[in-house]
Amino acid sequence: MSTRWNILYRGPLSSCNYACGYCPFAKTRNTREELQEDASKLGRFLDWVEASTSREIGVLFTPWGEALVHRAYRDALLRLGKMPHVRRAAIQTNLACGLQWLEGAERDTVALWCTFHPTETTVERFAAKIHLLDRMGIRHSVGTVGVKEHFPLIEQLRGMLPESTYLWVNSLKKNPEYYDQEHLDFLTAIDPLFPINHHQHRSRGKECSAGHTSFSVDGDGIARRCHFIRTPLGNIHDPNFEDRLSPRPCTNAVCGCHIGHVHLKELGLAETFADGLLERIPQKGAIAGR
């Protein structure tokens, strides 16, 4: 098989059961018709993945809202997990859903990117779910947003997670004055990769695998090199779609989001995360103490 494709899927779903103050999708609702449309587009994407057997494929669902409260997405992960050429089926989630459905998940393939939202759940409840995932043998990463008021909870979460679980922190880097050195030291002690996240990487003209071995797909099958460059590459349902993928330099001035700059070659994060690239789990030994 030739090079693996890492695909970020984001359909029209935009509703969420949580109400995080830092998010525009908090407590928004989709109508029943909108959810049906989203599920049908998801089904078409899954059919395409199933038929694309000439490639190894990894999929990360990056919904605008929360998807695992909807059966269509739980079933999608289980279905992808059973496709022999799919090496990873991962999703970003707030982990509010029950976890029993994961009993049927392929342990080598299905993975969860779990984000702790301190205003919406407790550290105890969230950490208990992570321990359950750990006992079930479900691959998972855990992370949170580096809000200063939440530092005590972030520290508490670190203490309550399994020691082997890497805890990532997303920087609130839009305001360069937001953190002082003590804040930065605290967050770097929690997440040794925080300094990379806390940076708008100058990316124009630089090599990035987005658009070659990684691309994003929307509910209509339109592929873009990443979530941050709107120009379409083509449509995955076009029989010649593969011809649209090639190595090319980034055209944006900066890349400031993990799901983007993880593909920026000069950062070497493909090596740091290796097999855990999509679900954000660093390779064993890639960072100190893990």
d(C-alpha 169, C-alpha 187), whole Å? 7
Asked if 10 interacts with ligand SF4 (CB under 6 A), we say: no
**Look-up of token digits 């880097």:** 173
Looking up tokens 């592929």, which residue turns up? 223
Of 225, 267, 280, 286, the one binding ligand SF4 (CB under 6 A) is 225
Whole-number Å distance between alpha carbons of 144 and 167: 8
> Which two structure tokens, joined as six digits, stand for 54?
């000439």
What is the CA angle 38-42-47, rounded to 5?
A: 150
Choose the binding region for ligand SF4 from 67-75, 163-171, 222-230, 278-286 (rule: CB under 6 A). Answer: 222-230
Instruction: Specify the stretch interacting with ligand SF4 by CB under 6 A; choose among 12-20, 30-38, 130-138, 169-177.
Output: 12-20
Which residue in the block uniquely carries the two structure tokens 């658009």?
211
Per CB under 6 A, the list member of 229, 236, 267, 281 interacting with ligand SF4 is: 229
Interaction between residue 226 and ligand SF4 (CB under 6 A): yes
Q: Which of 11, 260, 276, 282 binds ligand SF4 (CB under 6 A)?
A: 260
Among 82-90, 168-176, 184-192, 259-267, the segment contacting ligand SF4 (CB under 6 A) = 259-267
- C-beta contacts of 152-159 below 8 A and 24+ residues apart: 153/118, 153/123, 154/118, 154/187, 154/190, 155/186, 155/190, 156/123, 157/116, 157/123, 157/126, 157/127, 158/190
Check binding of 94 to ligand SF4 (CB under 6 A). yes
Contacts to ligand SF4 from residues 26-85, by CB under 6 A = 26, 65-66
| Separation of alpha carbons 68 and 97, rounded Å | 6
Buried b (16+ CB within 10 A) or exposed e, 190-201: bbbbbebbbeeb
Are residues 133 and 99 in contact, defined by beta-carbon separation less than 8 angstroms?
yes
What's the closest the beta carbon of residue 261 comes to ligand SF4, in angstroms? 6
Q: 41, 70, 74, 117: which one contacts ligand SF4 (CB under 6 A)?
A: 117
Side-chain-side CA neighbours of residue 246 (13 Å): 4
Q: Which region, judged by CB under 6 A, interacts with ligand SF4, from 21-29, 41-49, 169-177, 268-276? A: 21-29
CA dihedral for 19, 278, 87, 281, sign (positive or negative): negative
CB-nearer residue toward ligand SF4: 188 or 252: 252
**Span near ligand SF4 by CB under 6 A; candidates 14-22, 34-42, 131-139, 150-158:** 14-22
CB of 138 to ligand SF4, least distance (A): 19
**277 is a contact residue toward ligand SF4 (CB under 6 A):** no
Query: With CB under 6 A as the contact rule, which of the stretches 15-23, 46-54, 172-180, 265-273 interacts with ligand SF4?
Result: 15-23
Shortest distance (Å) from residue 210 CB to ligand SF4? 4
Between 61 and 109, CB nearer to ligand SF4 = 61
Task: Kindly compute the dihedral angle of the four CA atoms of residues 281, 284, 287, 290, in this order, to the nearest 10 degrees.
Answer: 100
Residue 43, CA distances (Å) to 66, 105, 257, 260 in order? 18, 18, 28, 25
| Least distance in angstroms from the C-beta of 225 to ligand SF4 | 5
Instruction: List contacts with ligand SF4 (CB under 6 A).
Output: 16, 18, 20, 23, 25-26, 65-66, 94, 117, 203, 208, 210, 225-226, 228-229, 250, 252, 255, 260-261, 263-264
